[in-house]
Amino acid sequence: MDEYTLSVPGMTCEGCEIVITGAVSPLAGVGKVDADAADGRVTVHGDPWAESRVRDAIEEAGYDVLE
């Protein structure tokens, strides 16, 4: 599995981390999710082909993902 990090600037608290982790964790191709509100970053350990689904899930949860 690969690791990639996404910038999610609107994630500002532990509640945000929980929401994003809950939205991303069940996706196929995702092994582990580390959401860090202090840095505004979400690190995903998983298959690279799942990245677009991860981005979509974060956006559907109400957060922007920067390129």
Return phi, psi of residue 60, to 5°.
Answer: -65, -25
* 13 secondary structure, DSSP code: S
State the distance between the two ends of the chain, measured CA to CA, in whole angstroms.
21
Each residue's pLDDT tens digit in the chain (67 positions)? 799 999 999 999 999 999 999 999 999 999 999 999 999 999 999 999 999 999 999 999 999 999 7
- For residue 67, is it within any domain? no
38 burial type by CB count under 10 A (0-12 exposed, 13-18 middle, 19+ buried): exposed
Task: Show the domain range for 39.
Answer: 2-60
Name the β-bridge partners of 36.
41
What pLDDT, on the 0 to 100 scale, is given for residue 67?
Answer: 77
Our count of domains for the chain comes to 1
Strands 41-46 and 30-36: antiparallel
CATH of the domain at 6: 3.30.70.100
